[in-house]
Amino acid sequence: MTRADALAYWTNPDRETFVAEQDGAVLGTYYLKPNQLGGGAHVANCGYMTAADAQNRGIARAMATHSLGHAKERGFTAMQFNFVIASNTRAIHLWESLGFTTLCRLPAAFIHPTTGPTDALVMFKTF
Ligand SMILES: CC(C)(COP(=O)(O)OP(=O)(O)OC[C@H]1O[C@@H](n2cnc3c(N)ncnc32)[C@H](O)[C@@H]1OP(=O)(O)O)[C@@H](O)C(=O)NCCC(=O)NCCS
C-alpha cells in the first residue's frame, strides 16, 4: 500500500480520525467508524497506530479509552475488531485489559511478511 493509499484509507469520509499529540508531535492516531452499514451500524470499529518512537508509553491505551467513550457518545452499543493478528500480543493484551473478548479465531487468515500464515482474532466488547 502506498503512503497516499494508506492516508486515504485512514481518513476516509466514512470514519472519524483522531490524533494523540504532545507538544505538536503526533504520537498516535485512530479512526472510529461503523463496523457495518445498515443493521450492523450500531457496532463500532476502530483502528489504532502508535508512532514507533512512542510505543509502550500508554498512547494506545489512552486512544482506546477515548474511542470507547466517544463511541458510546455517538450511540454505538458495542465495538468489534475484525482482524487482530494472533501474534500481536501487545494489542491483544491491551484489548483484553479493556474488556474485549475473543469471539473467534480465523485460521491462517493473515500472511505475515516474515513468519507466514498466522491466525487472526475477532474481538468484541459490548458497552
Ligand atoms: C498495538 C499498538 C497500537 C500498541 O500501542 P502502544 O501505544 O505501544 O500501547 P500502550 O503503551 O498503550 O500499551 C501497551 C501494553 O502492552 C503491554 N505490552 C508491551 N509489549 C507486550 C508484549 N510483547 N506482549 C504483551 N503485552 C505487551 C504493555 O505492558 C502495555 O500494557 P499495560 O498498559 O497493561 O502495561 C502499537 O504497537 C502499534 O501501533 N502497532 C502497530 C499497529 C497495530 O498493531 N494496531 C493494532 C491492531 S489490532
What number is the average pLDDT over the span 51-75? Answer: 98
Query: 85 falls in which pLDDT band (50, 70, 90)?
Result: very high
User: 20: burial class by Cβ within 10 Å (0-12, 13-18, 19+)?
Assistant: buried
For residue 78, the one-letter residue type is A
Q: Ligand 1: which residue has its CA nearest to atom 33?
A: 58
For residue 4, the one-letter residue type is A
Which atom of ligand 1 lies nearest, measured to the CA of 59?
7
Whether this prediction's pTM lies above 0.85 is answered by yes
Tens-digit pLDDT profile for residues 46-62: 999 999 999 999 999 99
Q: How far apart are CA 100 and CA 106, in angstroms?
A: 17
State in Å: Cα 123 to ligand 1 middle: 16
Q: Are strands 78-85 and 43-50 parallel, antiparallel or unpaired?
A: parallel
Query: Strand, helix or coil at 65?
Result: helix
